Structure 1
Amino acid sequence: MCDTYEFLRPNDGSGRRNFLRLTGTAAVLGLTGGTLFAGPAYADALTKAQRESMTPEQIIEAMKRGNARFRKGERKARNYLNEQRASANGQYPAAVLLSCIDSRAPAEVIMDLGIGDIFNCRVAGNVENNDILGSMEFACKLAGAKVVLVMGHTKCGAVKGAIANAELGNLTGLLARIKPAVQATTYAGDRSATNYAFVDAVARKNVELTIAGIRKDSPVLAELETSGTIKIAGAMYNLATGAVEFFS
């Protein structure tokens, strides 16, 4: 029954009736406790009360369950029009994600999230810079998000480019931000862009270094994490399996 409320919106205008019916069922089954969005509020978009009732760890667990549904082909049926309308006058995202622009790794889809659930920063190679940090600071300090998640993925083209020392206009400078991860990756085999095992190892190291960079370059986020207000975490998405692996 935990899935009943997490990032869930009704599919038609009968939201309150559905909620009351589900609540009654839960009471009969003795399952009313422990839900991420426990309480009387029920809406088509994540509410402030719902978000504030969750810890950063619970938000990450909700993402994990969403990814599990995605992998099983059991994603929630959503009414995006209802979500759009419900969030038009206010937003209360639970997390801010930094992910790659790769078309095969859309965070909301692979973690079964809806409109208004997360802030999403996307840039090739999921690297941080001042603009990304400013966006994250807004998301957490001003807008109340509780999780900062950096998500890389397997077979990343930006990582391949950094390994191969590719050069192309402004892309050259972007890939330079990934190259420290190439040097920092411990790997005994072929360290080339054609060896996907090495590419994936670098991609993971790049996530780790990006997390470290966020903590170093943003005193605002570092203080929020130290106080327990937010959690900064990493993840790797496997293009082949559809699985998201979360790590600190």
Structure 2
Amino acid sequence: CLQWLVEHGADTTTPASNGYTPEQLVWVNNRNHAVEQEWLEAAMKGELTEKKSVLAQEYKLKRWRPEGLDPQAESWLDKNKDRQLWYRYKTGDFQMPYDLPTLQESVAKMDLPRSTIPWPPSKGKPPLPVALLFPGQGSQYVGMLKDCMNLPAVQKMLVTAEKILGWSVKDLMLNGPKEKLNETRYCQPAMFIACMAALELMKETKRELVDRAQAVAGLSLGEYAAVCAAGVLEFEDCLNLVNLRAE
């Protein structure tokens, strides 16, 4: 094997790129049956960098190969050099005797239907519980209803609110003016409705969070929204209380 490497121009006087010298590979490495192949691969790739003893390699080859195997090894190397270079490093002129389809081509040819078997439940940690916290007066801003005003439940709330309050919450929240929206008389009913509208939006977009809610709370005015969200009081009753509070 060593002679074959020399004849084919491989550098046989330096160790592998892992830093071990040939002597170390012979006397220390407990995988001597694999050392020769590893060193051969490194030599063929040109990764041997430091000058070391050829005698150690000769000793290793003689020690771990039966006598009379050299001609067979040389013949195999001559026949399979290109194939080994292609198989291990994807280089060289070797070509497979048949076409190998890509992964995508193989999957397309199978034409298998999608599995209808459901995934088993996750064995990981269960999701954390959720608490809903509603803000109070001071969080208001003009336009705060625009992301959810088209939801049927929100439209129904706005119609009910206008009947109870006697003025259009929708117009004030969407168009202002800001000074009027900041007045307690108008701000608190608007904020209560905004909280309930946000809850309806969560039911549409993040239903799993609403279903996992185990607690509701609110800051000052937000306590009314929490009571309503918990189902303790109906929307109309809460809005009447908020309206009295605002006055």
Place the TM-score, normalised by the shorter chain, in its bin.
Answer: under 0.3
Q: Taking structure 2 as the reference length, what is the TM-score of the superposition?
A: 0.22
Who wins on radius of gyration, i.e. which is larger? 2
As a proportion of its length, which structure holds more strand?
Answer: 1
